[in-house]
Each structure stands twice: as structure tokens, then as C-alpha cells.
Structure 1
Amino acid sequence: MSDSAAPCPIADQPLPYADRLPTRDAAAIDLVVMHCTELPDLAMAREYGERILHESGTGNSGHYYIDRDGSVLRYVDPLRIAHHTRGYNPRSVGIEIVNTGRYPEWYDSRHQAMHEPYTPAQIAAVIALLRCLRQELPALRFIAGHEDLDTARVPASDDPARTVWRKRDPGPHFPWPQVLDACGLTRLQPDNPA
């Protein structure tokens, strides 16, 4: 990895409840979790992120969102704990890449393939953002896919006798070798049988 970071323009667009999320010290953050939105566009991802789902008046959201044109938006400051990966939120930053994934049939056993590739602009933005985060967060050492960390299976929506993976993102089209080579982080894959 080069010592010089590529430019990383970020549009700050905090979620309405961002100030209600707990704060943390930068030294507590050692992990980035890669996600895809599994939604058709950034507008719908924003709508989902704004939904209040917790008694604290907050919802589920990543910290950063990368649109198909490579633009990077920050919905939650990385020094706040966002709800994006069960069991890993206090130590991690979540990066969401706009991609349809399995939308709209996330848990239908007949529709588990993820067909949409990531754009070159998205991957370039991911790499630039990771390099910026490494400069801002000195304890950052690990990276994982949501699918690496949340390995739960749930009943399929079309046949409850069958199960499907709860999370499959960022999915098979995410170029792990390219990203790992460029970012200098180690992939964390605890107990993933997939």
C-alpha cells in the first residue's frame, strides 16, 4: 500500500438521529465491515437508514455509503457506534455500497444469487476511503464482509422448512484480492462455514 492516500471527498449527510448514537474513542475502532445495501438505489438506502427501530430513537445504518458513481456519503460519524453488524458495532465502522444484492426477495430460497457487479468507481472509492480511515483511525487493522461475521441462517420466506443465509453481503462480486492488496488491512473471518 502506498503511504500517500488518494483524495477522499466525503459528503457529510448525518442521519436525523446520529447525535443519539453512543460515542467512542478512535482507539476502540479496529475493524471495517463491508456491506452492500441490497436495495435498488441510494435514496431507498437513506430511507431505510432513517427508520427508527430501537428504543433509543435510532435505526440501522452504516457509517459511509458509496453510490454507483463512486460518491461517498457519511451518514454517521465514525466516532459514534452505528447499528450495522450484530456483535461487532462497538469496534467497527460500516461501509455500505449501493447494490441490489438479493432485493426484493432477500430470504426467498429461489432468489439467493447476487448478480449486480460493483462499478469500478465504487471500488476505487472503497479503496480511497479505507486509506483515509487508516490515517484517521490508528488502531484500524481488520476488514470483514458482513457475511463473514453474521453467519446466521433464517427460515426461507418461500418455504419455512428451508433456511437461507441472513446476510450475504458484500457478496461474490466484491473484489477481495484487489481491496486487500490496496488497503493493508487483514481480513477477519471468524467461524464462517460458508
Structure 2
Amino acid sequence: MKSLVSLSLIGLFALTSCGPKIIQSPIVFDQQRKELSLAYMKSHYGMEQSQPTIVPRMVVVHWTAIPTYEKTFEVFDPTLLPSHRTAIAGASPLNVSSQYVIDRDGSIHQLLPDTIMARHVIGLNHCAIGIENIGGPKQPLTKAQLKANTKLIKQLKKKYPIDYVIGHYEYTLFESTDLWKEIDEGYRTQKTDPGEQFMKDLRSKLESLDLKPLPAKS
């Protein structure tokens, strides 16, 4: 049963009414998830806030490595991280999630408001909107997903001071920048999503946005 806390997010969801069609599919955001999000921001970023809100400065593009939207929603919906996620369980019991999920046919689902923190990228959740795409190494992302990502990111750029659009595999490039806030030096994972070719194709579609170049490798 959804908590009444979710009702307070309706106003934030309403801000997404313009632009590409977006299906509102909110995951559970109960009091426990709120408290765990705030605790994550404090322990990993040194940020003490009364609400787990963010100011989006970047978009991080992912693939799910889960074959369907329905299964992906089942993974993201619970508040607590499942026990089998041993590689990241020590960092927080807060479950992973993302603001958006794009299905194989290009359907865009919004799981959380743009300005509520989701746990989807180490070091940058405090400023990053996550877009998950249904697919993976053995299930290449589709042309419909490329089109949907392009439309969604262009809309987000109009609404927020988005400087960067990155693939999840590029997140460690930001360790030397002011955007990086991860306190735990040992908390890193290796990522390949959403694939270099997809990001190359996506960037070609976003050239008109005048985004900042990625930081150089240190």
C-alpha cells in the first residue's frame, strides 16, 4: 500500500506535463524511503537536509540488464535494497531506483519526481536525474529508446540547469570535479551501461543543447 507521503509528490509530478508523453508510474516513496534517502545524502555527501531534494545538473543514462519494464518496476518499487545486492549493500539499505524508465518501444515511465533523489549513480545522485532503459549487453537498446531519450533530455534541459549528459560507465570521470561528493573512497563499481555506441548516437542527437564536454580522464 502506498504511503500518504507519496501524495505530497503529486505537485512535483505535475511539473512534467509538457513535452513528450510521460506515463506516471510512481514507486513507493514512504516515510522510510524518505528517511533512508536523507541518511544516504548525509553519510555519502555530507548534505543535511529536511527533504531529499536535488537540483539537477546532469542526466545519467543507464540500461537495466532486466528484460522487461514490469520486472524492472518490481525491482525498484521496494524501499529496501534486496539482500542479494551484496556489492552495494554495505553503503546503504536504501534501494536503487531512477527517476525515469524507458521501455523497448520508447514508452517513458516516471517513477520519481525529477527533484527527488534516486539512488542510481555513485557520487552524483545529489545532482543527477537517472534514465534507465530496458535492455542490456544481450538486448541492445532500440531506435525507439534513442528517440525517447532524446526528447526527454531536451525537455529536462529546458527545465533545469543541465550541464552534462553521461553514460553510467562515465561517472568516475567526475571524481575530480566540484559535482563529485562521495565521501567513501572505497565505494566504486565498474559499469558499462548503456554502451558506448548508444551514448555516441545520443550525443549526436543532443548537439543543439550546447552541453559541457566531459572532464578529462585523470
TM-score of the alignment, normalized to the shorter chain, above 0.5: yes
Contact 2:100 2:112 in 1 (8 A): yes
* Structure 1 residue 173, shift from structure 2 partner: 4.2
Amino acid at match of 1:178: D
Structure with a larger share of its residues in strand: 1
Contact 1:65 1:73 in 2 (8 A): yes
Task: Give CA deviations for 1:83-113 in whole Å, capped at 9, x if unaligned.
Answer: 00011100100000000x2xxxxxxxxxxxx
* Structure 1 residue 187, shift from structure 2 partner: 4.8
1:141 and 2:153 correspond: no
Q: Which runs of 4+ in 1 moved over 4 A?
A: 54-58
* Structure 1 residue 24, shift from structure 2 partner: 2.5
Ranges in structure 1 where 5+ consecutive residues have no aligned partner: 1-5, 102-113, 152-164
Structure with a larger share of its residues in helix: 2
Taking every aligned residue pair, what percent have the same amino acid on both sides?
A: 27
Measure the CA separation in 2 of the matches of 1:18 and 1:123: 32
Q: Give matches, 1:1-194, under 5 Å.
A: 7-17=19-29, 20=34, 21=37, 22-24=51-53, 28-51=55-78, 52-53=80-81, 58-99=94-135, 101=136, 114-137=137-160, 139-150=161-172, 166-174=190-198, 176-183=199-206, 184=209, 185-188=211-214, 191=217
3-state DSSP class of the match of 1:79?
Answer: coil
**TM-score (normalised: structure 2):** 0.64
Partner residue in 1 for 2:40 = none
Q: How many residue pairs are counted as aligned between the two chains?
A: 157
Measure the CA separation in 1 of the matches of 2:97 and 2:24: 14
Distance 1:115-1:47 versus aligned 2 partners, 3 A rule: same
